[in-house]
Amino acid sequence: MGISWTTFLWRPVSFDLMDVVSLRERDSGKKFKVRIGDAIEVRLRTNPTTGFRWERTSEVCPILEVSMVGDFRPDSNAIGSGGVILMSFMARNIGQTTLRLIERRPWEEGIPPINVFQVELQVD
């Protein structure tokens, strides 16, 4: 006894695919509109061998969820090579928030960061 193809009910399915908003250093200081479910990927230049790290300083809020803290992708296989760090966030709720990241050495208290990345996000 075989399976009849009429057993399966095929229906067209409409997927509302999320958008991926990719941000770089040049986007710092700008405002962006995103939708609930959109992914926000931030790619920033760095060299972790110098001790500097990118970290989030903006408050945790119900609007953005952290998807990936930091995935370093080196420019080459050379020891001490710089590269790009990728951080991902997901827009979870309607509202407005500031995403602020700073690059600093975590053990250096009271010293200003060497880089600041900040964007305003409006989630609709």
Quick: pLDDT tens for 12-29: 433 455 799 999 999 999
38 in any annotated domain:
yes
Q: Which domain holds residue 87?
A: 17-123
What is the reported pTM? 0.80
- Which tens digits make up the pLDDT trace of 30-51? 999 999 999 999 999 999 999 9
DSSP 64: E
Checking 63-72 for CB contacts under 8 A at 24+ apart, the result is: 63/91, 63/92, 63/93, 63/94, 63/95, 63/96, 63/97, 63/121, 63/123, 64/40, 64/89, 64/90, 64/91, 64/92, 64/97, 64/99, 64/121, 65/89, 65/90, 65/92, 67/39, 72/46, 72/48
Residue 60 confidence (pLDDT): 67
Number of independent structural domains in the chain? 1
11 in any annotated domain:
no
Residue 16 confidence (pLDDT): 52
User: CATH no. for residue 98?
Assistant: 2.60.40.2020
Q: Is the pLDDT of residue 102 over 90?
A: yes
